Chains A and B, each alone.
Chain A
Amino acid sequence: MVKTHQFDAIIVGAGGAGLMAALYASKGGANVAVVSKLYPTRSHTGTAQGGIGAALGNLEEDNPLWHAYDTVKGGDYLADQNAAKVLAEEAIDAVIELEHMGLPFDRTPEGKISQRRFGGHTSNFGDKPVRRACHAADRTGHMILQTLYQQCIKHHVKFFDEYQVVDAIMNNGACAGVVAMQLGTGELTVFHGKATLFATGGWGKIWSVTSNAHSLTGDGAAVVYRRGVPMQDMEFFQFHPTGIYKLGILITEGVRGEGGVLINGKGERFMEKYAPRIKDLASRDVVSRAIYMEISSGNGAGKNKDYVYLDVTPKTVNRYFAEAGDERRITAEDVEKKLPDILEFCRVYLGVDPVKDPMPIQPTAHYAMGGIPTNVNAEAVLDEHWTVIPGLYAAGEVACVSCHGANRLGTNSLVDLVVFGRRGGKNIADYVKRADFVPLPPAPEREIEAELNRIRNGKGKTRPHELRSAMQKEMMQNVGVFREEKGLNGALEVVRELRERFSKDLTIDDKGSTFNTDLMEAWELGCLLDLAEATALAALKRTESRGAHSREDYKERDDANWMVHSLVTRHGSELSPSTAPALTINVNKKVDMSLAEVDPRFAPKVRTY
């Protein structure tokens, strides 16, 4: 018999979303276990830099309805408008609450939470950039993660650190918990819960140039996907315009918020051409495409003309401020104070000092808009009828609620974590009071144990990293910023072939049980391959361009046919099918338009910045 733990609520993942959910579920009286493959403070939330958006209006007039508008427009009208409204309204209270938990926000001279500009955030329905991003230097995510972890310690939340969830236990269409491997011992453990919330973050490691951590391998999404839960809107993966050239390390939009500008290889500021009104602060999909267009028309910088510059040197910034009649001026000291981490990344990894020289940048795979479909209560849903999957919840980047639609605005992910993490936690606390445990099926660990043993004892010739880099390269080339039919078909074929090799020809070195990261990295690769396939398929199916999904063969947004979410479902329950499993894609789930129904400003229109 494997070890079995029973808790009211199992929270998988200890980033911002998981910790917020855990805190609220336990404050609401539930007996909670947080299961995380990393120590909580190692979670990727800690790398978020720029800020968390909330219409506090501390520095200039602001309004949650404007925030909702920017979110819907930024999402290229694919965001569910009820979710965008919840996000914008509850952001205010959530941010204030973080402050009450001790989060050290930067302060205005009067001692209020300081706010800065960020891409796509405007006042008065797109009029002009607004200061909405609440920040703690350029380590806002670090402060959120630390603060929430601290509060969980204060409230005696039970943590299972370095336990990696490898399977979801479903029984008759309901979730009964998870199977996890304790990394230190290699032992499998069953967590039996009335409610299970996945908050495992994104899967940027599908691509070769990414801002994402090595640990962002989409485990939580893949685990439930293999058990029949659909993946929603997988074709929408955001490429952030400003990653450090080649390394992909993120340079926050906050740099442009402070006045930084994008400059091509000829020394020209080019965003004026693509977004005449708000220029460098247009939303991310727009800026990433502009950079690619500059590069493909020969305006890139460097030997291979394959990158552009982000310039935050006071000389350049002040020149453009003056030209625009903007009264602001910045000094080297301001830059040092407001963006210390960014300066350090550039100095350490590039040997470039951004106070004196522009930084070489390129778009980097950054954020999964898609994921486990949920309603605004963080309950996972199965289909276009919003059928709730009993006992299963999701929040944060792994979830698709969908408040971000086809393209997430900067600062809105951190809002998403705290707003929907909190909703998830509160709902779980209520649910476990009235629900019973779903019975565990016999030996729930057996199948995944067999799969892990298959990987461990594989007698093939292929090392996991060969497959991983082949997948990353293919996805970067054909399922990146620009896509078209031929490339997408090719990518699907490549990914399927790689998966076949994964299941028939794999070999790893470490056969042991103690801290076997060789085994877990190989297992994670399987997750990435499954999600890459779903991504390519959804991208192929969507014959339009919208937000982060840009088809060269279908350049226009097609509102007549595509105001719908996509749902990819994998059929068959083998954990590692050796041939391509049957996938179906459902495109009947209509976008929620509840704001547009009462206010025509929320109806889809051409998106200009």
Chain B
Amino acid sequence: MDVTFRIRRYNPDIPGKNKPYWQEFRLADVDPNDRVLELLHRIKWEQDGTLTLRRSCAHGVCGSDAMRINGVNKLACKVLMRDINGSKVQVEPILGLPVIKDLVVDMEPFFGHYREVMPFFVNDEPVPANGRERLQSPDDRAQYDDTTKCILCAACTTSCPSFWANGKYVGPAAIVQAHRFIFDTRDRAAKERLNVLAEPNGVWRCRTIFNCTPACPRGIEVTRAIGEVKLAIQRGTTTGIVDISTIHIKEPT
């Protein structure tokens, strides 16, 4: 089939193109199983090498290619033509981060928020005397399983109206990353993280708009994770909050 791409472009190096504008490209012989990423490559390789985007793994695990596809945040490598209604594809950079060129945005503010929540394991107690692993029951492990899936693609954070309104809000991705440690029974810094997230630019900026959950290409229940963090702050404890009996195996989106 024939497909028309409408792409939001911006190139600071070229006078006349250094303000955002739209450009259309046509592609013939497109297969319904082609990924949007492959088609963007075809445009870049066959028609216009200046088209600029990030990508690496091409199968939805590295988090490089989050972009707005027909108005919704997606990984370009995870959207197939057969998932798209009709033969028109509109592609724009994700919102809320400064655009560097075409579909490439400045990720630094995003990673800055990530670093604010102490996204690393903390436990200074001596390791088991037998030199082996710390033990953790499968149920305790299950409490934070969902949030270990995050690939830091920024699809959730840049779909959030609260983040668009206030770039100082740490955003859903940082909260997901914090959740991964807060509910890990082996970790010892939950309190510090909860304190960071109780600040004005922490979880309370979340208005439960729910954009983030469908935006997550990994199927993480982002809003639920944020809710659990809010509850932990309110109750001052991390136990008894995650109900693992309701963690179900999800059909992928």
Contacts and interface: CB of A to CB of B under 8 A. Distances in A.
B62 interface: yes
A104 B141 contact: yes
A111 B13 contact: no
A596 B62 CA distance: 41
A136 B184 CA distance: 14
Contacts of A137: 145
Residue among B44, B107, B121 with max Cβ neighbours from chain A (10 Å): B121
Q: Which of B56, B141, B219 has the most chain A CB within a 10 Å cutoff?
A: B56
Given A100-B127, A113-B133, A336-B249, A348 B50 contact: no
A336 B132 CA distance: 29
B14 A512 contact: yes
B121 A101 contact: yes
A498 to B, nearest CB: 16
Interface string A104-146: 1111111111000000000000000000000011010011001
Interface stretch (A4-12, A42-50, A553-561): A42-50
Given A102-B187, A348-B252, A213 B62 contact: yes
B136 interface: yes
B59 A100 contact: no
A503 interface: no
Contacts of A47: 57, 59, 61-62
Interface in B55-113: 55-64, 78, 80, 82, 100-101, 104, 107, 111
B57 A46 contact: yes
A333 B249 contact: yes
A42 B63 contact: yes
B148 A96 contact: no
A41 B54 CA distance: 13
Contacts of B136: 107, 111
A342 to B, nearest CB: 11
B200 interface: no
Nearest to B187: A102
B46 A465 contact: yes
A341 B57 CA distance: 14
A514 B17 CA distance: 13
A137 B138 CA distance: 12
A150 interface: yes
B106 to A, nearest CB: 8
A43 B57 CA distance: 8
A41 B134 CA distance: 25
A518 interface: yes
B80 A38 contact: no
Given A153-B119, A213-B62, A337-B249, A100 B45 contact: no
B240 interface: no
Contacts of A509: 48-50
Interface in A147-186: 147, 150-151, 153-154, 184
Given A214-B58, A348-B252, A515-B101, A465 B50 contact: no
B168 interface: no
Contacts of A320: none
Contact of B12 (A44, A337, A514): A514
Contacts of B119: 150, 153
Nearest to B32: A351
B165 interface: no
A140 to B, nearest CB: 11
B186 interface: yes
B59 A345 contact: yes
Given A46-B61, A112-B135, A514-B11, A41 B152 contact: yes
Contact of B184 (A100, A104, A347, A349): A104
Dominant secondary structure of chain B at its interface with chain A: loop
A137 B64 CA distance: 22
Contacts of B135: 107, 110-112
A153 B100 CA distance: 25
Contact of A515 (B63, B100, B138): B100
Nearest to B83: A348
Nearest to B104: A515
Given A150-B121, A515-B100, A349 B80 contact: yes
Contacts of A44: 56-57, 62
Interface in A17-72: 38-39, 41-44, 46-47
Contacts of A42: 54, 56-57, 62-64
A272 interface: no
Nearest to A151: B120
A518 B50 contact: yes
Contact of A39 (B50, B100, B107, B137): B107
A606 to B, nearest CB: 38
A214 B56 contact: yes
Contact of A510 (B49, B120, B141, B187): B49
B137 A153 contact: no
Contacts of A513: 13
A349 B144 CA distance: 28
B120 A154 contact: yes
A38 B57 CA distance: 11
A509 B61 CA distance: 30
A137 B184 CA distance: 16
Nearest to A106: B141
A517 interface: yes
Interface in A299-341: 333, 336-337, 340-341
B211 interface: no
Interface of A: 38-39, 41-44, 46-47, 96, 99-102, 104-113, 136-137, 139, 142-143, 146-147, 150-151, 153-154, 184, 213-215, 247, 249, 333, 336-337, 340-341, 343-345, 347-349, 351, 463-465, 508-510, 512-518
Given A46-B151, A136-B148, A348-B60, 7 more contacts: A150-B120, A249-B58, A249-B59, A463-B45, A508-B49, A512-B14, A517-B52
Interface of B: 11-14, 33, 35, 44-46, 48-50, 52-64, 78, 80, 82, 100-101, 104, 107, 111, 115, 119-123, 127, 131-138, 141, 144-145, 148-149, 151-152, 180-181, 184, 186-187, 219, 249, 252
13 contacts: A38-B64, A39-B152, A42-B62, A42-B63, A99-B134, A100-B133, A102-B123, A111-B136, A154-B122, A215-B56, A337-B249, A343-B252, A348-B60
